[in-house]
Amino acid sequence: MVGPSTRAAATAAGLSDWHLRHRDIARLSRDTYLPREHADDLTDRLQAILLTAPEGAVISHHTAATSWRIEIPLVERLKPAHLTVPPGSRARNRQ
């Protein structure tokens, strides 16, 4: 795996669940994966997270500020990623 992926895409590319549990693969949610070497890169993490986000979801809150390089004192960088989803979506907190 060289970039963000869903489980379905990884399986279609020939990776098994065993491969996805490897220490070099970071699991960001139930269905999103990223090579661990990219796990600290905000852009790569957001690309992976948005793969399974509901249509119309947008990056928001501290994550949006960080992506615009706005420093917020006393806020841990990178975790968790904040998204705002449209009303009526079935999304829930995926920490």
Residue 78 pLDDT > 70, yes or no?
no
pLDDT digits (tens, 9 = 90+) for 28-59: 888 899 999 998 888 898 999 899 999 999 99
Q: Which residue has the higher pLDDT, 91 or 12?
A: 12
Sheet containing 25-29, strands listed edge to edge, beginning at the edge strand earlier in sequence: 5-6, 32-35, 25-29
Q: Which residue has the tokens 């990056």?
A: 59
Give me Rg for the CA atoms of the chain: 14
